[in-house]
Amino acid sequence: MFDGEAPHHARGCFAQAWSVAEVLRSYVEDVLGDKPEPWMAPIRATR
């Protein structure tokens, strides 16, 4: 995490759960090629 104002110093915890999870997600999807199934069915419009 970085400060919002210049000079944008790095602060906070680089190993927060969402940061680590995103690295793992991108590795699984991009390197291993394992895409998850959609968790919701497509919604059809009715008129």
Query: Model confidence over 16-46: pLDDT tens digits?
Result: 777 788 889 999 999 999 888 877 777 787 7
Q: Can you give the pLDDT at residue 32?
A: 93
Q: Can you give the pLDDT at residue 28?
A: 92
pTM of this prediction? 0.49
As a whole number of Å, the CA-based R_g of the chain is 18
Q: How many helices (H) and strands (E) does the chain have?
A: 1, 0
Q: Identify whether the C-beta of residue 2 lies closer than 8 Å to the C-beta of residue 11.
A: yes
Is residue 1 predicted with pLDDT exceeding 70?
A: no
